[in-house]
Structure 1
Amino acid sequence: MIRRRFTVAAALAGLAVTGVAAQPAAASPAPTVPVRLLSLNDFHGNLEPPTGSSGTAVDEHGASVPAGGAAYVAAHMKRLTDRNTLKVAQGDLIGASPLISAAYHDEPSVQFLGDIGVTASAVGNHEFDEGYKELQRIQFGGCHPVDGCSPAGKWKGAKFDYLAANVGQGKLKLPILKPWTIRIVNGVPVGFIGVVTKTTPTIVTADGIKGLTFDDEVAAANRASKQLKALGVKAQVLLVHEGDQTPAGQRPDACGVVPGAGTRIAKDADPEIDAVLAGHTHQQYVCSVTDPKGQPRLYSSGSSFGRIITQVDFQVNKATRDVVRTSIKADNHVVTRDIDPDEDTQTFVRTWKDRVATIANKPVGRITADLTRVPSPAGETTLGNVVADAQLAAMKGQGAQIALMNPGGNRADLTFAPSGAEGEGVVTYGEAFAVQPFSNVLGVTTLTGAQLDALLEQQWTSAGEKILQPSASLRFTIDRSRPVGDRVSAITVDGAPVDPAASYKVAANNFLLGGGDGFTTFTQGTGQVLGPIDLDALVAYFGTASPVAPPALNRISGQ
C-alpha cells in the first residue's frame, strides 16, 4: 500500500512540475486554490425521512423543523456542490438501520452514499455490528455468505474508501482497511485519515471484532499524518467517529460542546491536520480548538440520520500545498424538506421499499397499549420488560431463569396506533425489527448469586448510568444515594432471595455476554450456550403471548 502511494505521490509531483513549467511567465497561477468539503455522519441507513424526534433538527433560528431523508440529502448536496467539492463522512453510515436498508445488510445505503459522491469515510462502531469480515465485504464486494445476493444482484462494493487507521488485526496489527486516502482538487492533494472511537470493543459484539485492536485515536491519526506528510500531502483532514455532547436545542453552527473524548482528539492530533470532522454523539456543532502548535483548528459534527450536511471551505497554497488555516469556514446546513426532493433518489428509495414491503408489513402479534422506552424513576420501561420476557421465553429450553436486556439495544417504541394499514394494536415485522435491529444472538450463561449482584452494581460507572431491563422473574431494589458499588439490594429470582453461593442461569444477548456496555461480569459466566437471534425471539413471543399488555413497572424498586 505504501509503495503504491509513493508512486502516486511521485506522479503528482511530476505533474505539478510539468504544469508549472508549461505556464508562461505572465500567466503564473493564483497563490491559492479553493477546496470545499461536504460531510455527513451517523446516517444509520435512514433512506426514508426519519420520523418523530429523529426526523427534526434545530435550525439557525432555533426552530425545530422536519429534516433528513435520502432524497432531500441528495437534493441539498446538489445545491451545495461546486467544481471544488469532495464529499466525505464520519462513520456509522450503516448499522442500527431501518429495515429498508438492514434487510439487505445495508447495501442500499452504501449504494446511495456512493451515488451521491461520498469518496471517503471513517468507520464507525456500528460498521462492526455484523463483524469486521462483513464490513470488508461491504467495502470490497461479493454476496452475503448466508443470505446470498440481494435483488439488485452481486454486490460490487462501496464506491468510497472506508478508513480505519486505528484498527489492526493480530499481533502485527495488520490493517483491515486503508488508514488514509488521497484526493486531488484543483491540482493539490488532500489527505483524509479515518479513526473510530477506541471504546468500540465495549459497544459492539465481541465475536465480530475478535482478534482486532483499537488503538488510541490520536496516536493512530498522528502516525497516518506523518505518512501523508512523507508523501508530500500537507493538506490533511481527520475524519473521526468520536465526539462530544452539547446542550439540548443548540443551533447547528453553535459550539457549546461539553469537552470530552472528541475535544481531546481535536486538540491533541498532529498539527499537520488542518480540520477534524467528528460524529458518534449525534450532536451538531461548529467549534475552533487550538492544535499542539497553538494554531486554530476546525472541530465540527453534523447531527445524525442525514439531518445535517457540514460544509467546509478553505484555500490551499499552491506553492506549499498546505491549507491556509485562516481561510477555513464551516457551516452546518439543515437538510430541510421544504425543497423538491431528488427524483432519482426517490425512485431508488421506492424500489428498495417495495422490495422489503412484503416482509415489513407482515403482522407478528398484537399489543393492548403503547410499549415505550420511557423509564420509571428506577429506570425500568414497559418495552424493556417485554423484550426481557421474550428473551427469557426463548431461552427457557436452555435452562434460563432470568433475562437482562441492555436499554440501548431497544431502538424504537411500539405504538398502539397503526404506522400504516395494519390496524390498531397490530405489531408488524418491520415494527419489531425497528425495536431490535442488531441481529444479536441470545445466549445463557451461569453466574453465582454474588456475580449477579456484582453485575447489577455495574449499572453505574464513571460514564453514567445504564439500567438493565429485567424479566418478570427477577426483582431488585436500587438506592442511588449510596456509593457506586453498593446500590443494589433485595435481589430475588422467582420470588426467592438470591444466594451468593448458588448458581443462576442468565439469558442475555451476545453483546452483553461479551461484556458490552461495561457489564464485564458477564464474561465471568460459565457454561454458555447460544440460541436464536434476538429479533426472532421477540417475533416468536408476540406470536404466542399476544395480545401483549404493558407490564407493571415494579420489577425494580427504589430510586
Structure 2
Amino acid sequence: MVTAAASALLVAAVAPGASAKPKPGGPAETKAKTTEVQILALNDFHGQLRPPDSTSSGGRIGTTPAGGAEYLAQYVRSLEETNPNSLFVSAGDVIGATPLVSAIFHDEPTIEAMNLMGLDYNGVGNHEFDEGPEELTRMQEGGCHPVEGCFGGDGFEGADFEFLAANVTYKDSGETIFPPFAIHEFPGVDVAVVGMTLEGTPNIVTAAATENLEFQDEADSVNALVPVLKKAGIETIVVLMHEGGSAGASLNETTVNSCANPTGAAVDVIKRFNPEIDLVVTGHTNWALNCPNLAGTGIMVTGAASVGRVVTDVDLTISRATKEVVSASINNVIVERTEFAPAADITELINHYGEIAAPIENRVIGTASAALSRTNNAYGESSLGDIIADAQLWATSGPGWSHGAPAVVSFMNSGGIRAAIDAGPITYGEAFSVQPFANVLVTMDMTGTQIDDLLEQQFSGGNGVLQIPASLTYDRSESAPTGSKVSNVRINGVLLDPATTYRVTVNNFLADGGDGYSVLRQGTNRFVGEIDSDAFSRYVEFLGTVDPGPQNRITSIP
C-alpha cells in the first residue's frame, strides 16, 4: 500500500520539472501525431562483467555463447542508434550475487559499468539488499565504503541511473526508500517508470538487511499509483518488477521469444494489476519471456533471462493526443559475442579492477587431489556437490559454531554449483566461482516427516537431485510410485524418525522454496548465517587437500 507520506512524495514526483532528462527532437517532431519510444530492458545482471562460462547453460542461450558486459554495451548502443527516444532499464539485481571482480569491491565496478552503458532506471531487486539499505543508498549516491574506504585510490560517484522502489518503505517513517517512480519526457508524451521489489525479499536475504524495512504487496502498491499517474496526465505506464516465474520450456534460440505457458508468482501478481498498466519488465527467476498479452490481461510482459545474455527491445508507438500506446512490438535479442567487437571502455574498466583483485583472486587456499566435477552420476550426486554439502554442514556444526544446536544435515541445489575445480592448487577465485550468488546459509528446524517429504519432492516437482553430506544416506527406487521413491533414510547411521526435530542447513534460495522445494518453507527457528561461498572457502582451507566426493550417499534399489 502507498502510505500518506509516500503519497506526498508521489505528488511531488509528478510536479512540473520532475523529469530526469530533456525532450529530444526538433521542429519536425512537434508536428507528429505519434511518438516512437524504444524501451531496452534487462534483469538479473548480477555483476557479470566478464563473459559467463559458455560451457555451462548460464553462459549460453541454447547453443549460442552469450553475455558479458563488453558485448551487452555494444548491443545497447547499437539499438539506441535506431531511435533517439530510448530508455535503458533494469528489473532488478543489477548487483548482488556477483562474480569476484565486482563483489570484492562491493559492486562498485558494476555500477560504473552500467553508468558507461547509460542505464536510466533500475527497479530494485532482492539482491540489491544483500548488504543492507545503507550500502544500497551508497550505491545510488556514491562515497567510499564506510569500512574499507576507497578502492583503487579513487572515489566512487554512485549510480548515474535512478533506483526505484515503490513498495519498500522504512518502518519508522513510512517513506519509500527510493522514489516509487519516475516520469520520463519524450516529444509529445510522458512515460511513467515504476520500480517494484520482490515482496518476499525479507525471506531470502539476511534478517539484519531488512529489519527496518517493510516490503508490501506488488499489485496493491502499483495499483495505488495508477490513479495518481493518470491524474497527472500519464497514460503510458511501465513497471520494472523483480518477480518472475517459469516459462515451461528449456531456454534456447527459439524459446527466448516464447510466451508458452508462463506460470508462477509474477503471473499471479500481474493478473491483479490495473489494466491501465502497459508493460511489465520482470526478473528474479531468470526466465526469458515475450508476452504481448499475458493471460488475457492486455499487459505486455517481458523477461531477459540473466547475466546480460539477452536484452529486450520493446518498441512503442504512443499517440500524442490520447497519450496511449497504439501499437507495440517486442523482441528478445541474444547478446552474442561475435556480432560486435567488445566495448573498449568496458574492457578498460574490467581490466582496471581485475588487476587490483588479482592478488586475492589468485590466492591459493588449498589443493584438489583430482578434478572436482559438478557432473552428476546416475543417482544425482556430483563429486563437488558432496564436498559443498559437507562444507555447509561443517560451517553450521563444526569449529566456531555458537548459534544454538548444530546442524545434523545439509542440502545443496545442483543448479547452484556454477563451476568445477581442476586438479591442483585451488585459488580463492576458483572457489568463489563455484558459488557466485552470495546466497547465505540458513539453519532451521525440520521434522523427520518434512525431511522425508523434501527427499520425495526431488522426484515430484523439484528441480534436480539435492546434494547431501556424509551424515545422510538413503535408498531410491526408480520403479516405486511417486511419493514412495525414497526409503531407509539415515542421519549419522540412525533411521530417520518422523516425529523428531532435526537442525537442517540450506542456502537461502532453497530455504524460500527455490527450485520447487516448497517443503523447505515450513522450516522454523531459522538462523541466517554466513555467505555460502565463504563457508566453502573456509572448508577448503581447513582440509588443505580436497579429495573428490565419494558419490556414495544415494543407493539405487529395484
Q: TM-score range, shorter-chain basis?
A: 0.7 to 0.9
Q: Is the 8 A contact 1:268 1:291 kept in 2?
A: no
1:433 deviation in Å?
0.7
SS at match of 1:184: strand
2:45 to 43, 46, 50: 43
Moved more, 348-357 or 269-278: 269-278
> Could you say which residue in structure 2 is the equivalent of 1:19?
none
> Could you say which residue in structure 2 is the equivalent of 1:157?
158
Q: Is the 8 A contact 1:457 1:487 kept in 2?
A: no
Matched, 1:11 2:16: yes
> Could you say which residue in structure 2 is the equivalent of 1:320?
322
Cα deviation 1:308-328 (Å, max 9, x = unaligned)? 12111222222222222x2x1
1:111 deviation in Å?
1.6
1:291 deviation in Å?
8.0
Matched residue type, 2:321: A
Q: Matches of 1:299 and 1:444 in 2, distance apart? A: 36
Q: Matches of 1:506 and 1:56 in 2, distance apart? A: 34
1:259-270 correspondence runs (5 A): 259-261=262-264, 262-270=266-274
Using the size of structure 2 for normalisation, the TM-score is: 0.83
Q: Matches of 1:549 and 1:319 in 2, distance apart? A: 70
Matched, 1:491 2:493: no
SS at match of 1:370: coil
> Could you say which residue in structure 1 is the equivalent of 2:131?
130
Moved more, 193-202 or 346-355: 193-202
Q: Is the 8 A contact 1:370 1:413 kept in 2?
A: no
Cα deviation 1:318-367 (Å, max 9, x = unaligned)? 2222222x2x1222222222222211111111111111111111121222
Q: Matches of 1:543 and 1:13 in 2, distance apart? A: 54
> Could you say which residue in structure 1 is the equivalent of 2:254?
251
Q: Is the 8 A contact 2:181 2:192 kept in 1?
A: yes
1:37 deviation in Å?
1.3
SS at match of 1:151: helix
Moved more, 511-520 or 114-123: 511-520
> Could you say which residue in structure 2 is the equivalent of 1:61?
none
Aligned in 2, Cα 1:4/1:496: closer, same or farther, shift over 3 Å? closer
Paired residue total: 526
1:87 deviation in Å?
0.9
Q: Matches of 2:291 and 2:198 in 1, distance apart? A: 19
SS at match of 1:524: strand
Matched residue type, 2:216: D
Matched residue type, 2:494: A
> Could you say which residue in structure 2 is the equivalent of 1:556?
554
Q: Matches of 1:100 and 1:88 in 2, distance apart? A: 23
Segments of structure 1 that go 5 or more residues without pairing to the other structure are 15-22, 59-63, 417-423
SS at match of 2:311: strand
> Could you say which residue in structure 1 is the equivalent of 2:289?
285
> Could you say which residue in structure 2 is the equivalent of 1:32?
34
Matched, 1:391 2:361: no
Q: Is the 8 A contact 1:455 1:521 kept in 2?
A: no
> Could you say which residue in structure 2 is the equivalent of 1:430?
429
Q: Matches of 2:332 and 2:237 in 1, distance apart? A: 20
Matched, 1:274 2:278: yes
Q: Matches of 1:440 and 1:282 in 2, distance apart? A: 16
Matched residue type, 1:49: P
1:448-459 correspondence runs (5 A): 451-459=447-455
Moved more, 499-508 or 539-548: 499-508
1:505 deviation in Å?
5.5
Q: Matches of 2:90 and 2:199 in 1, distance apart? A: 18
Q: Is the 8 A contact 1:402 1:470 kept in 2?
A: no
> Could you say which residue in structure 1 is the equivalent of 2:92?
91
1:50-199 correspondence runs (5 A): 50-52=52-54, 53=56, 54-58=58-62, 64-81=63-80, 82-151=83-152, 153-170=154-171, 174-199=175-200
> Could you say which residue in structure 2 is the equivalent of 1:216?
217
Matched residue type, 2:16: A
Q: Is the 8 A contact 1:270 1:291 kept in 2?
A: no
Aligned in 2, Cα 1:365/1:121: closer, same or farther, shift over 3 Å? same
> Could you say which residue in structure 2 is the equivalent of 1:412?
418
Q: Is the 8 A contact 1:269 1:291 kept in 2?
A: no
Q: Matches of 2:377 and 2:207 in 1, distance apart? A: 30
1:472 deviation in Å?
1.0
Q: Is the 8 A contact 2:438 2:532 kept in 1?
A: yes
Q: CA RMSD in A?
A: 3.5
Matched residue type, 1:451: T
Aligned in 2, Cα 1:216/1:504: closer, same or farther, shift over 3 Å? closer
> Could you say which residue in structure 1 is the equivalent of 2:303?
301
Aligned in 2, Cα 1:358/1:128: closer, same or farther, shift over 3 Å? same
Q: Matches of 2:504 and 2:452 in 1, distance apart? A: 12
Q: Is the 8 A contact 2:414 2:465 kept in 1?
A: no
Aligned in 2, Cα 1:546/1:456: closer, same or farther, shift over 3 Å? farther
1:101 deviation in Å?
0.9
SS at match of 1:177: coil
Q: Matches of 2:308 and 2:442 in 1, distance apart? A: 35
